[in-house]
Structure 1
Amino acid sequence: MLSPDAPLVLLQHGGLDNLSGKTGLAMLRYRQGPIVAVIDPAHAGADLQALTGIARAVPVVADMAAALAYGPAVAAVGLAPSGGRLPLEMRADVVAALQAGLCLASGLHSRLAVDPEFAAIPLAPGQWIWDLRHEPADLEVATARCAALPCRRWLAVGSDMAVGKMSACLELQRAAQRAGLDARFVGTGQAGILISGQGVALDAVRVDYAAGAVEAAVLAAAQGAGADAWVLVEGQGSLAHPGSRPLPLMRGSQPTDLLLVHRAGQSHVRTRPGAAAVAIPPLPELIAACEALAALGRPDGLRPRVRAIALNTALLDGGEAAREAEQIAAITGLPVIDPVRQGGDQLLQALFEAPIAG
């Protein structure tokens, strides 16, 4: 739906300096196609790199009228607000975008295509509204078809939600492509899908069909891939989190290998305020659980292993990050690398040195 070369304007109202804007911030960091402007009235005129730390030169403007001067073709909602509803302060710019002939891409739970105000605006030929967070049509129950694929399939598994599984996969894909490797990414959340232009929004799929939806997305991404290709599947949630469902990803993708993603220093999963505290088990125990579950429900007899740990050290300084990585490597016996801080090349090298799944 979203072509990789379409010039985007990001609707980032109030989200350039906090986690509510994580979708747009991820697009700024990882989308390879053009982002011509960012709309955030609170930071209009600011230097994007100074504000976000993202090395990308994009003007920050106050509204859609100002953004149109930069020639966008698509407006993408960059916020992930609580409840997944379109913020009221964004509506006027969405209307302006549609009236100007721009396409609209959104990963919110609220469906913008059926919103009465937006639906009343006639769309020009070729203009579309893409509500990506919906269940794909013609879903089937998974049947382990991905096990027959010749390519290597890496599934990111986390110690918690929102620890950097997508970022680890995308950093790894960048490094692999620089090295001349055929590396493909399967997005399973709104940011990953908006960045890659395809995938499946796992949290919009009924549980009976969730593994089948992942299976279909991986098969589509792996079409024509040979034995030397890598398919990197964005993980969701964690086995340690009481409110997530990572098992459909294991069943649907039939991974050959696992990549554990963990936030340095985090001891408990993050749940809503007032909920009971849930501890993250010692990483060797979590690794064993992930490997045991990934070995079930597959026809090929493979026992996928965690080959490395992608460590999110964003909250630590350089010395603290190095010490934490050394400690985790000592207790797990695995390479421990922060692919965002250190770049994906070191992680790629560690995974290249890992044995072929068996």
Structure 2
Amino acid sequence: MSGIQAPPGFREMRLVLLQHGGMASLTGKTGLAMLRHRAGPIVAVIDPDHAGQSLPQITGIDRVVPVVADLAAALPYKPEAAVVGLAPSGGQLPDPVRHDALAALRAGLHLASGLHTRLAEDPELAAACWPDHWIWDLRREPETLKVGQARAAALPCRRLLAVGTDMAVGKMSACLALLEAAQRTGIPARFVGTGQAGILISGEGVALDAVRVDYAAGAVEAAVLRAAAALPEQGLVLVEGQGSLCHPASTATLPLLRGVQPTALLLVHRAGQTTIDRLPQIPLPPLAELVATMETLASWAQPDGAHPPVKVAAVALNTARLDEDQARREVEGVHQMLQLPCTDPIRWGADPLLKALLKD
């Protein structure tokens, strides 16, 4: 198997999100991304801190889903599977989430998780899982691995890789917004998830942080080849970025560049951010320098004559912390600075980014 595949029927299942304490914080980014982008039904969200409140008021996400206190309160909405929507530090299952995960299994629900902790290997959880039901731990290394060989460079389709100035700036959301824009305009496109949220939303991909470093580029390469196989020559593969070259804890960008062999890059940045968000002692480089560095790195480790030099085609600017007027000023400022198309694809749509990407 060249990547992670969801259990049969998962894309259409009625889900309940285990979102305890994560409705208004970055620890809940997996579930929040699913609420924003998952096409299949989400019938309830469990968060005792916000039970009974309006999802749009809490999160700004325009989706009507009841927020309840526990699994018992979610069962009347007839969920078929529970999904851990948190990404807590260290990847451990918090006790309140474990309680509702166990209740979900005992009630006959399936369970999906992208945590580093393997829930299927927990004796109590495994014993509670009904026969013919599953616990899907998606954060696993693919079964068949090869080292990277730049094979994606020979693909005729376009390949976009999102690269960020920091972690959690919106790389996945920007790619999914581009996917939606492509689908509206009839452009054949596939999304390759490389983290837990992206895989849970799309049902497939490669959990890059579960792959041994020697095989990381090869695992990405295999996932891109798999996605491209379902596309015509004029198709588009959109690859979710991970981490950042600017972050001292991140090693993800290089294997992504090597595995994807991108034909274009999308720079993703949070408006006004000048340091690593959780390490303010580490400054971000000027955006123009980062663009030049990314383009240089993308040009290395390619076969001769693979394609024209790789460029940053556009900038996706995360303006979630700004009001409308501030956001528009920031977008215009980045556009003037870099002379690249720039917008917030979540706030105003990804059509300008897609147009820039498809420009020859």
- TM-score, normalised via structure 2 length: 0.94
Pairing 1:147-162 to 2, within 5 Å after superposition: 147-162=153-168
Q: Is this contact kept in 2: 1:325–1:336, CA < 8 A? A: yes
Q: CA deviation at 1:122?
A: 4.6
Q: Is this contact kept in 2: 1:312–1:338, CA < 8 A? A: yes
Of 168, 177, 193, 1:171 maps to 177
Deviating above 6 A after TM superposition, structure 1's stretches of 4 or more consecutive aligned residues are none
Q: CA deviation at 1:351?
A: 2.7
1:257-308 alpha-carbon deviations (Å, 9 max, x no partner): 1000011111112345xxx822211111101110111111111154211010
Aligned to 2:204, the other structure's residue is in SS state coil
Partner of 1:48: 55
Aligned to 2:214, the other structure's residue is in SS state helix
Tell me how far apart the structure 1 counterparts of residues 153 and 107 of structure 2 sit (CA, whole Å): 46
1:223-267 alpha-carbon deviations (Å, 9 max, x no partner): 231121111000011112221121000000111110000111111
Partner of 2:3: none
2:142 is aligned with 1:136: yes
Partner of 1:343: 349
Aligned to 1:334, the other structure's residue is in SS state coil
Of 256, 260, 263, 1:253 maps to 260
Partner of 1:91: 98
Q: Is this contact kept in 1: 2:108–2:129, CA < 8 A? A: no
Partner of 1:8: 15
Of 61, 69, 88, 2:68 maps to 61
Q: Is this contact kept in 1: 2:341–2:352, CA < 8 A? A: no
Tell me how far apart the structure 2 counterparts of residues 14 and 282 of structure 1 sit (CA, whole Å): 35
Tell me how far apart the structure 1 counterparts of residues 35 and 330 of structure 2 sit (CA, whole Å): 28
Aligned to 2:168, the other structure's residue is in SS state coil
Q: CA deviation at 1:188?
A: 0.6
1:327-353 alpha-carbon deviations (Å, 9 max, x no partner): 21122110111101111223223333x
Pairing 1:326-341 to 2, within 5 Å after superposition: 326-341=332-347
Aligned to 2:347, the other structure's residue is in SS state coil
2:217 is aligned with 1:211: yes
Partner of 1:225: 231
Pairing 1:52-131 to 2, within 5 Å after superposition: 52-125=59-132, 127-131=133-137
1:128-159 alpha-carbon deviations (Å, 9 max, x no partner): 11111121112110111111212100000111
Q: CA deviation at 1:185?
A: 0.5
- Counting matched residue pairs gives 350
Q: Report the AA paired with residue 351 of structure 1.
A: L
Tell me how far apart the structure 2 counterparts of residues 206 and 286 of structure 1 sit (CA, whole Å): 27
Q: Is this contact kept in 1: 2:110–2:129, CA < 8 A? A: no
Tell me how far apart the structure 1 counterparts of residues 331 and 51 of structure 2 sit (CA, whole Å): 38
Tell me how far apart the structure 2 counterparts of residues 270 and 50 of structure 1 sit (CA, whole Å): 25
Partner of 2:294: 290
1:145-196 alpha-carbon deviations (Å, 9 max, x no partner): 1112121000001111111100100111111101111111111111111111
Q: Is this contact kept in 1: 2:113–2:137, CA < 8 A? A: yes
Tell me how far apart the structure 2 counterparts of residues 32 and 224 of structure 1 sit (CA, whole Å): 20
Partner of 1:184: 190
Q: Is this contact kept in 2: 1:101–1:124, CA < 8 A? A: no
Q: Is this contact kept in 2: 1:9–1:38, CA < 8 A? A: yes
| Range that drifts further, 298-307 or 157-166 | 298-307
Partner of 2:276: 269
Aligned to 1:136, the other structure's residue is in SS state coil
Partner of 1:241: 247
2:316 is aligned with 1:304: no
Aligned to 2:175, the other structure's residue is in SS state helix
Gap regions ≥5 residues in structure 1: none
Partner of 2:200: 194
Tell me how far apart the structure 1 counterparts of residues 177 and 220 of structure 2 sit (CA, whole Å): 21
Of 282, 290, 294, 1:278 maps to 282
Identity across the alignment (%) = 63
Aligned to 2:87, the other structure's residue is in SS state coil
| Range that drifts further, 38-47 or 231-240 | 38-47
Q: Report the AA paired with residue 284 of structure 1.
A: A
- TM-score, normalised via structure 1 length: 0.94
Aligned to 1:161, the other structure's residue is in SS state coil
